[in-house]
Structure 1
Amino acid sequence: MDLPINPPLRPMLAKAVKTMPKGDLLYEPKWDGFRCIVFRDGDEVELSSRGERPLTRYFPELVEAVKRELPERCVVDGEIVLPKGSRLDFDGLQQRIHPAASRIKLLSERTPASFIAFDLLALGDESLMETPLGERRRRLVEALSAARAPVYVTPASDSYDLALRWFDEFEGAGLDGVIAKPRDTVYEPDRRVLFKVKHERTCDCVVAGFRWHKSGPVVGSLLLGLYNSEGKLQHVGVAASFSMKRRAELVEELRPYRLENLDEHPWAEWANQTEATVDRMPGAVSRWTGKKDLSWVPLRPELVVEVAYEGMEGDRIRHTARFRNWRPDRTPESCTYEQLEVPVAYDLNDILAGEATSPRTDR
């Protein structure tokens, strides 16, 4: 591969802000998938993740799509997503990371992914990394004007009002916010020079276990549960991002609730899981790092915690939740799915077809 920019390359990043910024900005929907920089030099294609891990082998259908739909020699920043019906399926996308070649082939046929392009870093022999974003966007639209599914160019607009509409409506299609990009910025790898506005809600969850931190005998994350309509405690995700001082304090706070006999725990059946499963229950092997220790310490399901979260993916919290407060005033049994806010449905196909960029009309 001989391009003006060759892998490895870390993507440009965004920092979280509480409100939609104003100014000389381009707004784009924030896609919920795997960040990916595509390198194409003729028949050579490499899909590189945010952490510079190769994604190429996991998405053979996208490799073929890149050869068919992207310019002969280019570097394109974007997102790998998995459409399912009228919304994105992040759970299904995670299933695509599998060690077995036969499984990869099967899933590429059963649950094919799409690539959403949002930045052009090189074209032919020309590097565009020092070119302002506004011009890179124009070149991207031009270069991919004839691209067909499963390759798309993300919608973009300089309208603040339209960005607010996207933020309100697109969550119903599985997207998780809006990215605001200064039009004059050059491409700065691994630097947070963009802005992201994401949904944040709170809910009360049962703390049913914890994992040790990789650095030593302090708490790494809390395992969260909600009671479903059948009265069973469903594992919904984890809360993390504590300071090291707080991690040590949590060891003592949780000590009175630790269970020696796992048979008394509602998640006992998952304790000895050795494969990455759809449910991703406590103890399941990570699809990204199969050797990572995900063992957990069971707790009596009596503690209630308020956490902040961005949204739901099926019956689980999407991404990592953030600890807010203990809730001694709440009973564990009151922590059910009924407390969760459900976004209004929005058809993903309207976004992909470019029908969501016009001013608001009665839908």
Structure 2
Amino acid sequence: MPASSPSPVPAEGGRRPEPKWDGYRAGLLVSRGGEVVLRSRRGAQMAAAFPEIVRAARQELGEGWALDGEPVVWEGGRLAFERLQRRLASRGARAEQAAKEWPARFVAFDLPHDGDQDLTGWPYARRRAALEELFAGLPAAGPLALCPSTTEAAVAAEWLGWTSAGLEGLCFKRLDERYLPGGSTRCGPRPRR
């Protein structure tokens, strides 16, 4: 996503902030045949590197569901981008071992397809409500995680303090915007004081 310097609090004009993670933007899809596809926004196939995410998607999501988000790896209480990069290079038994040593989570921030219908024409506020409903029925501690979102300035300001844990800043999403794969979401680093 292109970086800009948004305000550190929810902007007026129908935008809602959420944390910007230190991961790789990716789409997660369970096909009609049950195959799980995890692909970077540039088209790189990532599923073989993240078997725990693939298993969770197969078990927890129905066929035809698609999530937009980022795989992330935590180590020592902070996001570990270097571990994520190493995970991307793992396949087969090495990927299974890496999943035990440095488990990844797929942080979902959008829902373009819910299994029954294409949601890309829906406004973000409606897709977000559907995404929250989906995650209400999923295990909280599993490899699939819901990205937080808020309308409260104090909460958004608190998230900016997470930069010491590897968070890159905030993304501001327009509530009335339909799904765009590249998006017009404004993301940026923590504002300098």
Fold conserved (TM > 0.5)? yes
Q: 2:151 pairs with 155, 158, 161, which one?
A: 158
Q: 1:138 pairs with 119, 129, 136, which one?
A: 129
TM-score (norm: length of structure 2): 0.88
1:46 and 2:37 aligned: yes
- Summarize deviations over 1:99-128 as a string: whole Å, max 9, x none: 653422321222121111110000123000
> Per the alignment, do residues 44 and 17 of structure 1 end up closer, same or farther by CA in structure 2, a change over 3 Å counting?
same
- Summarize deviations over 1:292-334 as a string: whole Å, max 9, x none: xxxxxxxxxxxxxxxxxxxxxxxxxxxxxxxxxxxxxxxxxxx
Work out the CA distance in 1 between the residues paired with 2:3 and 2:122: 21
Work out the CA distance in 2 between the residues paired with 1:79 and 1:99: 17
> Per the alignment, do residues 135 and 159 of structure 1 end up closer, same or farther by CA in structure 2, a change over 3 Å counting?
same
Q: Is the 8 A contact 1:89 1:174 kept in 2?
A: yes
Show the counterpart of 1:32: 22
Q: 2:112 pairs with 112, 116, 121, which one?
A: 121
Unaligned stretches of 5+ residues in structure 2: none
More contact order relative to length (CA 8 Å, sep ≥ 6): 2
Q: Does the residue aligned with 2:131 lie in a helix, a strand or coil?
A: helix
In terms of fraction of residues, the more helix-rich structure is 2
Q: Does the residue aligned with 1:82 lie in a helix, a strand or coil?
A: strand
Show the counterpart of 1:98: 89
> Per the alignment, do residues 48 and 163 of structure 1 end up closer, same or farther by CA in structure 2, a change over 3 Å counting?
same
Question: Identity of counterpart residues, as a percentage?
Answer: 33
Show the counterpart of 1:194: 185
> Per the alignment, do residues 154 and 100 of structure 1 end up closer, same or farther by CA in structure 2, a change over 3 Å counting?
closer
- Summarize deviations over 1:41-68 as a string: whole Å, max 9, x none: 2521100102111111111111001112
> Per the alignment, do residues 122 and 18 of structure 1 end up closer, same or farther by CA in structure 2, a change over 3 Å counting?
closer
- Summarize deviations over 1:53-91 as a string: whole Å, max 9, x none: 111111111100111222343010011000223221111
Q: 2:164 pairs with 158, 169, 172, which one?
A: 172
In terms of fraction of residues, the more strand-rich structure is 1
Q: Is the 8 A contact 1:82 1:114 kept in 2?
A: yes
- Summarize deviations over 1:141-192 as a string: whole Å, max 9, x none: 101212221211111001233212211x11122211011111001111234x
Q: Number of residues paired by the alignment? A: 187
- Summarize deviations over 1:182-211 as a string: whole Å, max 9, x none: 1001111234x111120377xxxxxxxxxx
Show the counterpart of 2:57: 66
Q: Does the residue aligned with 1:127 lie in a helix, a strand or coil?
A: coil
Show the counterpart of 2:7: 19
Q: Is the 8 A contact 2:6 2:186 kept in 1?
A: no
Q: Is the 8 A contact 1:69 1:144 kept in 2?
A: no
Deviation at 1:15, TM superposition (A): 4.1
> Per the alignment, do residues 145 and 71 of structure 1 end up closer, same or farther by CA in structure 2, a change over 3 Å counting?
farther
Please say which structure displays the higher CA radius of gyration.
Answer: 1
- Summarize deviations over 1:212-270 as a string: whole Å, max 9, x none: xxxxxxxxxxxxxxxxxxxxxxxxxxxxxxxxxxxxxxxxxxxxxxxxxxxxxxxxxxx
Work out the CA distance in 2 between the residues paired with 1:190 and 1:103: 32
Deviation at 1:31, TM superposition (A): 0.9
Q: Is the 8 A contact 2:123 2:177 kept in 1?
A: yes
Unaligned stretches of 5+ residues in structure 1: 1-12, 202-363
Alignment RMSD, CA only? 1.9
Q: 2:71 pairs with 59, 80, 87, which one?
A: 80
Q: Is the 8 A contact 2:5 2:191 kept in 1?
A: no
Q: Is the 8 A contact 2:49 2:91 kept in 1?
A: no
